[in-house]
Chain A
Amino acid sequence: MSFLTVVSIAAGIMFGIGGLAAVARIIRGPSILDRALATDVLLAIAMCALGAEMAINQHTDTLVILLVLAMFAVVGSISIARFMAKQDVS
């Protein structure tokens, strides 16, 4: 087993723990702000995992996806935060 194989297994486990924790917060989260925040974290973890896959397998096919996500990921959370009313507690 080469060095990068070990790294990819360890990184996969850590990305998986982070993603599962974010999904747990999306399910449980007491307010809609917690859910928007956890969705952002899940997106960031997905971007990091895409980049890690690119670096390990030595290609740059999904770099454009990272660019589009970095440009437009802001829309969802900002619209939730901006148009949230005081009575929307969950």
Chain B
Amino acid sequence: MSLAEIAVGLLILVSAFLSMAAGIGIVRFPDVLTRLHAATKPQVLGLATILAAVVLRAPTWGVLTTAVLVMTFQLLTQPMTAHMLGRSAYRTSHVRRDLLIEDELGRDIAEHAEPEASDR
């Protein structure tokens, strides 16, 4: 049992705990926007810790560059997904208005509403 092995085990446990927390979160939270908050944990931090564990376990340049590439693509694509889902949830009224503290998007939409702006 070396020091690197303990580090790898701890990183795997962190990622597994974040995955479990995301699962419990999307079961227990009340609407789409709060579930988005829970869902992003394993997508970013969980994958980052697990890639660090893989790189620690097989420390070569090929593995390191591939891991960096995986994390880059994940960080590029997951915010797009979350943004589109949140926007679609707002536009199709899947939002619990009683849970919102401040509705800045609704204020902006009301401000910019014009008679001819009916295409969206």
Contact = CB atoms under 8 A, between A and B. Distances in A.
Interface of A: 2-4, 7-8, 10-12, 14-15, 17-22, 24-25, 31, 33-34, 36-38, 40-41, 44-45, 47-49, 51-52, 54-56, 58-60, 63-64, 66-67, 70-71, 73-74, 77-78, 81-82, 84, 86, 88-89
Contact of B15 (A37, A51, A58, A81): A51
Instruction: Give the contact-size bracket for chain B.
Output: 35 or more
Contacts of A66: 51, 70
Interface stretch (B84-92, B100-108, B111-119): B84-92
B73 A70 contact: yes
Interface in B50-65: 50-51, 53-54, 56-58, 62-63
15 contacts: A10-B16, A11-B13, A14-B16, A21-B20, A31-B32, A33-B88, A40-B39, A40-B43, A41-B43, A55-B11, A55-B54, A70-B71, A74-B80, A81-B85, A88-B92
Q: Which 5 A-B pairs have the closest CB atoms?
A: A21-B23, A18-B23, A51-B50, A74-B77, A14-B16
Nearest to B81: A77
Q: Specify which of A20, A24, A54, A70 lies most central, judged by the most chain B CB atoms within 10 Å of its CB.
A: A70
A84 B53 contact: no
Contact of A52 (B15, B80, B81): B15
Contacts of A56: 8, 12
A14 B42 contact: no
Interface of B: 1, 5-6, 8-9, 11-13, 15-24, 26-27, 32, 35-36, 39, 42-43, 46-47, 50-51, 53-54, 56-58, 62-63, 66-67, 69-71, 73-74, 77-78, 80-81, 84-85, 87-89, 91-92, 94
A58 B27 contact: no
Q: Specify which of A11, A44, A78 lies most central, judged by the most chain B CB atoms within 10 Å of its CB.
A: A44
Given A33-B88, A63-B70, A71-B77, A55 B12 contact: yes
